[in-house]
Amino acid sequence: MKKLNVAVLGATGYGGGEVLRLLHRDANFEVVFATSRTKAGTPVSAVHRNLEGLSPLKFSDPSVDEIVGGVDFVIGALPHGASAETLAPLVDRGCRVIDLSGDFRLRDKDEYAQWYLHTHVRPDLLAKAVYGCTELNAGKIRNAQLVASPGCFATAINLSLLPAAAKGLLKGTPVVVALTGSSGSGAEAKEGTHHPTRAETLRPYKVLNHQHTPEILQTVRDAGGSIDGISFVPVSAPIVRGIFATVAVDLSGPLDTKGAIVLYQSYYEATGRPFVRVLTTREPECATVARTNFVELRPRVGKDGRLYVITAIDNLVKGAAGQAVESLYLMAGLDAQLPNSGLLCPGMWP
């Protein structure tokens, strides 16, 4: 069978690089464009050094026509703002698009403007986009033209709340403390990822003010969770890969730890998707999911009656490129091939 062609736009960043890695030997998809204006002509392995000798691909700077004519799917890995500008014309031309940026995640353009600090260039497309949380929206993603792949923090926090939300058990404002690895800040060197001051610290940022907040709220409410808001404390951790989230939330109905485990296990089994592991004998941690598409989570009910869920994912795989490739398989109707993709590769221990 001929492979389906894919364009990865903004392919020099970490998100784009992970898409290239995941697809570089894929049996079903072929990346034909890895776009970059500044690096066009350079081998992708000059930037993504792990692909040295493994990918003959070069960065290129194709026109809209070339993309529209040459590919079956577009994966956008551009910064927000630039993403909507670049992807909108492709959507207009009928391309099927998966966007890793935050540009199409929120349905409300005012909320977008409030959190992303600029006006959305194409608010008309917001209603068209399907939020690419594969455990929640697999059915819609299959038929979507435009998928907004979730944020890394959002992925971990959504998955912590969805089963209880779906049962209508949530109330109040969840308290979330979540830590991120430094690769989440992208490939560009900046103050917050300067090794001397990043390597031996834990440092909060955007406290109670992170832009993933509204996308979590929207998703949890979509799933049935009656929550008032999210109080989210993001923290920079001195690891490269990983999101580690602790979520505490008031319950509106009776639930104990045993019941929570059953609820979470049955919810994720019912999705039919293989990535979420509900742990009961050890704790979720970053090392066991790093560099994989897997999710580890463990729910508990405290003496205070609150539900506590601890969740770990890899920020660049399940939190970005891996989840996008899940959507790609769904959109292509190739779910059944998923086990042959790179998404089920184990991580390493240690």
Instruction: For the segment 230-259, give every residue that binds a second copy (CB under 8 A).
Output: 231, 233, 235, 237-242, 244, 246, 248
Give the HSE-up count for residue 38: Cα atoms under 13 Å, Cβ half-sphere. 6
Closest approach, Cβ 283 to a second copy, in A, equals 5
- Which residues ranging from 54 to 113 are in contact with a second copy (CB under 8 A)? 54
Contact between 21 and 345 under an 8 Å Cβ cutoff? The reply is no
Give the three-state DSSP class for 126. coil
Between 86 and 183, CB nearer to a second copy: 183
Nearest CB to a second copy, comparing residues 62 and 284: 284
313-342 residues near a second copy, rule: CB under 8 A: none
- From the CB of 9, what's the least distance to a second copy, in Å? 19
In terms of CB distance, is 17 or 132 closer to a second copy? 17
Q: How far apart are CA 246 and CA 268, in angstroms?
A: 19
Measure the CA–CA gap between 158 and 311, rounded to whole angstroms. Answer: 10
Please list every residue from 273 through 312 that binds a second copy, using CB under 8 A.
274, 277, 282-288, 290-292, 294, 296, 300, 302-304, 306, 308, 310, 312
Q: DSSP string spanning 79-109?
A: PTTHHHHHHHHHHHTT-EEEE-SSTTT-S-H
- 71: Cα within 13 Å, side-chain hemisphere: 30
| Strands across the sheet containing 295-301 | 203-204, 231-236, 170-180, 243-251, 307-313, 295-301, 276-278
* Residue 207 interacts with a second copy (CB under 8 A): yes or no: yes
Q: Please answer whether residues 36 and 61 qualify as being in contact, where contact means their C-beta atoms are separated by less than 8 angstroms.
A: yes
Nearer to a second copy, 131 or 264 (CB): 264
Give residues 127-186 in contact with a second copy (rule: CB under 8 A). Answer: 172-173, 175, 177, 179, 181-183, 185
Residues in 19-38 that interact with a second copy by CB under 8 A: 21, 24
Helix (H, G, I), strand (E, B) or coil at 268: helix
Residue 226 engages a second copy in binding (rule: CB under 8 A): no
Which helix or strand (DSSP H or E) is residue 195 part of?
helix 195-198
Q: Which residues are catalytic?
A: 152
**Which position among 1, 41, 127, 202 is part of the footprint of a second copy (CB under 8 A)?**
202
Does position 191 bind a second copy by CB under 8 A?
A: yes
Q: In the complex with a second copy, which residue's Cβ is closer, 24 or 39?
A: 24
- Minimum CB separation from a second copy for residue 187, in Å? 8
